[in-house]
Amino acid sequence: MAEETVMALEVKGLSGGYGRVPVLHGIDCAVAEGEVVGVLGHNGMGKSTLLKTIMGFLPATAGSVRFHATDVTRITPYERAGLGLGYVPQGRGIFPQLTVRDNLRFAWHDYSGGTETEVMEAVLQDFPRLRPLLDRDGGALSGGEQQLLALARCLMGDPDFLLLDEPTEGIQPSIIEEMAETLLRLRKTRNFSVLLVEQNFDFIADLSDRVLVLERGRITGELSRAELADQGKVDQFLGFGAARATRGSSPRVAAQPRGGMTAPHSGVLAPRAVAGRAMPPAIQGRTDFNQTTAPAPVAAVQPPVTNMTVKRPNLSQMRDMASRLGMSMTDAELAEYLQLMEGNFQSYDRLDAMPDHLPAVRYPRSPGHFPDYSENPQNAWYVKTEVRGAPDGPLRGKQIVLKDTVCLAGVPMMNGSSIMEGFTPEIDATIVTRMLDAGATIVGKSHCENFCLSGGSHTNAKGPVHNPWKHGYMAGGSSSGSAVLVATGEVDMAIAGDQGGSIRIPAANCGVYGMKPTHGLVPYSGVMPVEQTIDHVGPVTNCVADNALLLEVLAGEDGLDPRQYKPQTYRYTEALGRGAQGLRIGILKEGFHRPESEADVDAKVLAAAERFRDLGARVEEVSLPEHLLAIDCWTAITLEGLQDHMMWGNSAGTNYRGLFLPSMMDHMAQWRGRADELSPSLKVSMFVGEYFQTQYRGRFYGKAQNIMRKVTARYSEVLRQYDMLLMPTVPMKAQEIPPPDCSISLYIQRAFEMIGNTAPFNGTGLPAFSVPCGLSEGLPIGMMLVGSNYGELKLYQAGHAFEQSGDWRTM
């Protein structure tokens, strides 16, 4: 009689997620004693959420988890660990400031089955690579060594069941192979059971007795070990491009890598990192497509393709495409077109087999950690890390935080949205490399608003960002965390982005200096976009001198950004100390006494204008009615443009030469299946953009761009008479953060009510500088100075003269 299978872990009907956002939907799975079960799926499908819920870090909203026949659904993670359940989280899960020895010591528990010394010695026998590294800080290890340390830390608790979350993420192939060998050896010596979630098909196929396929929080398929060697079965469940791979070739068909999605890179990146991540080669030996007619024309004769890594459409998919395109065709016609497309498909096969060409990453770093409330009282941080740049340079000693739209290789990025959570870029943005080359230290990523669609600071998926001057009030958005961290002195400088005021609004609300440079002056390459013609990135600092210094480092062409058209750069620090004598400043009439204006804000900014007069500037009022028209043009450009570029274009779009990040595009595309998670401020923008794109064919977008040229010309005419225009950055003080259960109307009002003065200069691209000029009711007020194209020098001259004239807090 066959021996009865004993289950180590049984999961039945498990549902859960993050707060009110459901992720898991009725998961059923079981792992027998001594069995290794893999869970394969894309980013965002719920793999990490599944393990966190099984371990108890996230609550189950339905269903049960039984471990060794004991219901553990409602007990704490610590209690589950005491029963023998071990967990290795995604992103290493080590203490970078502690030595390897102390990392292991702090992982020992009284249920570990021996003394601390005995257990550590046993673990080091299993991980000999760690023994010579015992006195090295965890943050100084390579990514692979950190992952081995994370696994060793887990074993300090003497578990008999391991939950492994993406252990190969960002790891070099040689270390992945070592890790696989280690796990296979441990399985034999310790008789582990393992539940392993991965995207790396080679790794998961090598280790697993069977593989579950997870899609959108549901188990949609299962492959036995025998079926893993059956290419047809694998394709049936996974398709081409469903998983990443480790090896360039393999004798086993099941382990053949697939083209398409590459892994987010979250490990330590060595200074000699290659410029582009190698894409998997083609699958060997697939010749199942019957090509009987001539292929579509191609540019040149290419060698025939026998390795078809790009999945071909079937007849049903061809029917769907024809219907969407408004075509009426018979199945015979569709089949003929399908055959004619084969030549094009082969071009994609060859493209898929090539390594990508991405910028090199030159400085080592660790993934960092997510700070808890004690480190993050305003919720301004997303992740803390430390990336040290060159030993010397103009930014030596400066600690800089990045808005969480800026790619920092190996460090998580979510752009304020649960959709992007789990994404880790594999490149550094151009501006990151420039700052590191200049000697800066990057200390982390700051929270921003949900896909940057808010001038308030209440839309981030991790909660609102609080004003440093008054808790419970808006910090301003969308670069909310950047301004807060500068204002609190936790960093010296910050990078922020701006599509409708997102540098200047939080700078005004938090009492710091924020420069939106001329459009294209600072390269946007490697920064998550909204719409190319309004995208800007620039510095936020506590003083004018630091702002000018940072812009000197950031500015200039990089050859990768289509927003740049021969930008003119200067030594901005040379503007410091020149004073305001002789400057011509126009007080823009239409920037004051607006319907949303508050009288104390107008009064403080007008008082600042008088101070300029006292400093020797020529100050007078000027009227420009087009300022009120500009917001209408910006609305059409932004709402239709973001829907086309950021949403349907998966944060990249087409029709330009420049830097593309396919891994970001893959992750962003998940919004289509998770649109309920989008913020109301983005949803309303999408509704408007989609309606006018579909019903009016984009004509208003085009007309708005045409009229914006006229508006820009009018600003330029006035700026030939004046060196700069002056107005309130934000016509109102920071408002209260709305409660979590507020109405949709209030949520959206708080997102967009303050952009009347800032958004016009995203459409025109003119530089605009927010300078703090006073306090009212305990909240800062900002004055905005606007110059001509590449006129940042004059703005810094005026801003520095004003700053030196007195303490703005007492003005």
The SS3 assignment for 290 reads coil
| Orientation of helix 626-642 relative to helix 680-695, angle to 10° | 90
Report DSSP letters for 685-744, one per residue: HHHHHHHHHHHSTTHHHHHHHHHHHHHHHHHHHHHHH-SEEEEESSSSPPPBPPPTT--H
* Beta pairing class for 193-198 and 210-215: unpaired
Element (H, E) at 605: helix 599-614
Closest to 612 (Cα-Cα) out of 809, 806, 810, 770: 806
Active site residue 366: no
Whole-angstrom distance, CA of residue 121 vs CA of residue 128: 10
Alpha helices of 284-324 — where are they, by DSSP H? 315-324
Q: Which residues contact 804 (CB under 8 A, 6 or more apart)?
A: none
Query: How many other CB atoms sit within 10 Å of the CB of residue 610?
Result: 11
Q: In what order do the strands lie in the sheet with 513-516?
A: 381-388, 441-446, 399-403, 493-498, 536-541, 513-516, 768-776, 779-786, 724-728, 584-588, 618-622
What is the dihedral sign for C-alpha 349, 354, 357, 362? positive
Active site residue 502: yes
| Orientation of helix 544-554 relative to helix 792-804, angle to 10° | 160
Element (H, E) at 103: helix 100-105
Report DSSP letters for 369-437, one per residue: B---GGG-TTS-EEEEEEEE--SSSTTTT-EEEEETTB--TTS-B-TT-TTTTTB--SS--HHHHHHHH
Q: Which residues contact 312 (CB under 8 A, 6 or more apart)?
A: 289, 338, 342, 345
Chain centroid to CA 460: 13
Measured in residues, the chain has a length of: 811
Active site residue 770: no
Inter-residue contact 422 to 48 (CB < 8 Å):
yes
Closest to 698 (Cα-Cα) out of 467, 531, 448, 566: 531
Q: What is the largest CA-CA distance in the chain?
A: 100
Q: Which of 48, 418, 478, 480 is catalytic?
A: 478
Q: Which of 208, 418, 482, 502 is catalytic?
A: 502
Q: Which of 311, 384, 398, 403 is catalytic?
A: 403
Inter-residue contact 534 to 500 (CB < 8 Å):
yes
Indicate the Cα dihedral angle 552, 545, 509, 581, nearest 10°. Answer: -110
Active site residues: 403, 478, 502
